Structure 1
């Protein structure tokens, strides 16, 4: 099994950019550990300031267990904490739209 890259889009609500950034700058240590434990070794989120769309890229180790993260209490707490700032599903999971790869350059 090889490494995997996943990309997806999320949506912020107006007026919360500074708070969204602040909360991520202060990422909980137990959430960081859960992400690492699930096999995420690189996670970046970018923002289109004109639309408040967030673009996330996850790099996953071979044999990752990232699909198990939603069952972890720390993940559920994080979603509840972030729900006021972004579009979410009924269970407070951020709404996300998967983005297929259309180009990759590895120099």
Structure 2
């Protein structure tokens, strides 16, 4: 199994809206992520720190390199930018996480 995990950060007072927007995730975004090789994607929240922990499971040969330039991804980032810490261009700030344990 190939996976990727990373941390992101919400701004204070945005948890409810972040959940609402993900509950209503755009079908075109879901299709884009699936088409890029992501078959399982979860995001967890630590409400004490407002840290988000994301885990993606990737199919063999998954290629995520085109995602940052795709118009649907850019539109989603713009939509979410007011809720999260972002880079210039509204890409969410990400901190990679290193796997230290896995039980299969």
Pairwise TM-score range, normalised by the shorter structure: over 0.9
| Matched pairs, number | 104
Q: Which residue of 1 aligns with 2:92?
A: 94
Q: Distance in 1 between matches of 2:65 and 2:13?
A: 31
Q: Which residue of 2 aligns with 1:48?
A: 46
- Unaligned residue ranges in structure 2 (runs of 5+): none
Give the secondary-structure state (helix, strand or coil) at the position aligned to 2:7: strand
Task: Please tell me the root mean square deviation across aligned C-alpha atoms, in Å.
Answer: 0.6
The alignment's TM-score, normalised by the length of structure 2, stands at 0.98
Q: Which residue of 2 aligns with 1:16?
A: 14
> Which portions of structure 1, spanning 4 or more consecutive aligned residues, are displaced by more than 3 angstroms?
none
Q: Distance in 1 between matches of 2:51 and 2:8?
A: 6
- Unaligned residue ranges in structure 1 (runs of 5+): none
The alignment's TM-score, normalised by the length of structure 1, stands at 0.95
Q: Please say which of residues 82-91 and 62-71 is displaced more in the overlay.
A: 62-71
- In the TM superposition, residue 65 of structure 1 has moved relative to its aligned partner by 1.3
Give the secondary-structure state (helix, strand or coil) at the position aligned to 2:54: strand
